[in-house]
Amino acid sequence: MTKPLLDVDDLRVRFHLRTGTVEAVRGVSFQLGRERLGIVGESGSGKSQTGRAILGLTPPPGEVTAKRLAFDGIDLLTASKRTLRTLRGGRISMVMQDPKYSLNPVMTIGEQIVEAYQAHAKAGRREARDRALAMLEAVKMRDPARVFSLYPHEVSGGMGQRAMIAMMLVTDPDLLIADEPTSALDVTVSMEVLRILDELVTERGMGLIFISHDLKLVSSFCDRVLVMYAGRVVEQLEAKNLREAQHPYTQGLMRCLPTLKDDVRPLPTLNRDPAWAQ
């Protein structure tokens, strides 16, 4: 077997607050090849913190430990700050869950993409600008030139999300962590964005971690899925078999979804069993 692109073993993230310790991630392990790995799970189950820890972006005073955390053979736990900085936003990118929060409010969208590109590729201003415009077009912006010159507060929710995706893909990463990348997009645009990600995986061999709470989307888009609950992976399965999930939490999740077909009211909710968190 070829060595995995990403190797995560016993990842833990803790926050020591005055009111007690929050264990956001409690021993997550998985390996990722050049594939689409979905992470689903309830709100607060540790999906985003898992992604951030891989990038070394755990907010202070968060504490990260792991038996192993390696990207393409590079040990991320012991790597120098410099190595991490070059990897981050270059070979490893993350599309954050909160696009507007992660975009710089006082810089136009276009300038931010240009800057991201130039930070990792030796390129002139002209080339960087063309690349940025091409990326904005690739994420289906209606008027790339206009969006290029807009500030983050001047774009819609979905446009902000796509701007963020454009910025993260402009450096051609080997690993992309996409945290709810399409949650603010209408279905038609979201399909286009997924198609771009899909191409990068199938044609360029990128590895993709796709964090989402949209089970239907994950089961139709990803190869494998990790189901998280209370900071742990409670189930790992082939994405297409999500409907046959064994864990009562995963089964319950599937039942809570409203559908266009039937009008169920009230919607079924989950009876959380404390044992699931053990």
Partner 1 sequence: MLDIQNLQVVFGTGRLRVDAVKDVSFHVEPGAAYGLVGESGSGKSTVLRAICGLAPITAGRVLVEGRAVTTPRGKDFYRTVQMVFQDPYASLHPRHTVDRTLSEPLAIHGEKDQEARILQALREVGLGPSFRFRYPHQLSGGQRQRIAIARALILRPKVLLLDEPTSALDASVQAEILNLLDDLRRKMGLTYILVSHDLAVVAHLCERLLVMRHGEAVEETTSEALRSGVASNAYTQSLIQASQGFTRDAKEPVRSLAG
Residues 6+ apart with CB under 8 A from 242: 215, 218, 219, 225, 250, 254
Distance (Å, rounded) from C-alpha 260 to C-alpha 187?
A: 14
Q: Does 154 bind ligand ATP (CB under 6 A)?
A: yes
Indicate the helix (H) or strand (E) that contains 26: strand 20-32
Distances (CA, A) of 137 to 78, 131, 165, 169, 170: 38, 10, 12, 12, 12
Give helix then strand counts, H and E, for the chain. Answer: 10, 11
Q: Which residues bind Mg ion (CB under 5 A)?
A: 48, 97, 156-157
Stretch that binds partner 1, among 1-9, 109-117, 157-165, 170-178 (CB under 8 A): 157-165
Would strands 232-238 and 74-75 be described as parallel, antiparallel, or unpaired?
Answer: unpaired
Distance (Å, rounded) from C-alpha 104 to C-alpha 107?
A: 6
Q: Does 49 bind ligand ATP (CB under 6 A)?
A: yes
- Subset of 173-202 contacting ligand ATP (CB under 6 A): 184, 186
Q: Does 74 bind ligand ATP (CB under 6 A)?
A: no
Which of 10, 33, 34, 44 binds ligand ATP (CB under 6 A)? It is 44
Stretch that binds ligand ATP, among 40-48, 199-207, 248-256, 257-265 (CB under 6 A): 40-48
Which of 1, 59, 106, 124 binds partner 1 (CB under 8 A)? It is 59
Residues 6+ apart with CB under 8 A from 60: none
Q: Does 95 bind ligand ATP (CB under 6 A)?
A: no
* Tokens found for residue 263: 């009008």
Closest separation between CB of residue 122 and ligand ATP, Å? Answer: 32
Which of 2, 43, 78, 80 binds partner 1 (CB under 8 A)? It is 43
Q: With respect to Mg ion, which residue has the nearer C-beta, 128 or 165? A: 165
Closest separation between CB of residue 41 and ligand ATP, Å? Answer: 6
Q: With respect to partner 1, which residue has the nearer C-beta, 7 or 179? A: 179
- Within 13 Å, how many C-alpha atoms sit on residue 52's CB side? 20
Radius of gyration from C-alpha coordinates of the chain: 19
Distance (Å, rounded) from C-alpha 178 to C-alpha 175?
A: 10
Distance (Å, rounded) from C-alpha 150 to C-alpha 162?
A: 13
Residue closest to 5 by CA, chosen among 65, 66, 91: 91
Indicate the helix (H) or strand (E) that contains 178: strand 175-179
Q: Does 156 bind partner 1 (CB under 8 A)?
A: yes
Q: With respect to partner 1, which residue has the nearer C-beta, 75 or 268? A: 268
Q: With respect to partner 1, which residue has the nearer C-beta, 101 or 107? A: 101
Q: Which residues bind partner 1 (CB under 8 A)?
A: 15, 17, 19, 22, 40-45, 48, 59, 97-98, 100-101, 142, 146, 149-150, 154-160, 162, 180, 183-192, 194-195, 198-199, 202-203, 213, 215-217, 219-221, 252-254, 256-261, 263, 265-270
Task: Write out the residues near ligand ATP by the rule CB under 6 A.
Answer: 15, 17, 22, 24, 41, 43-49, 59, 62, 97, 153-159, 184, 186, 213
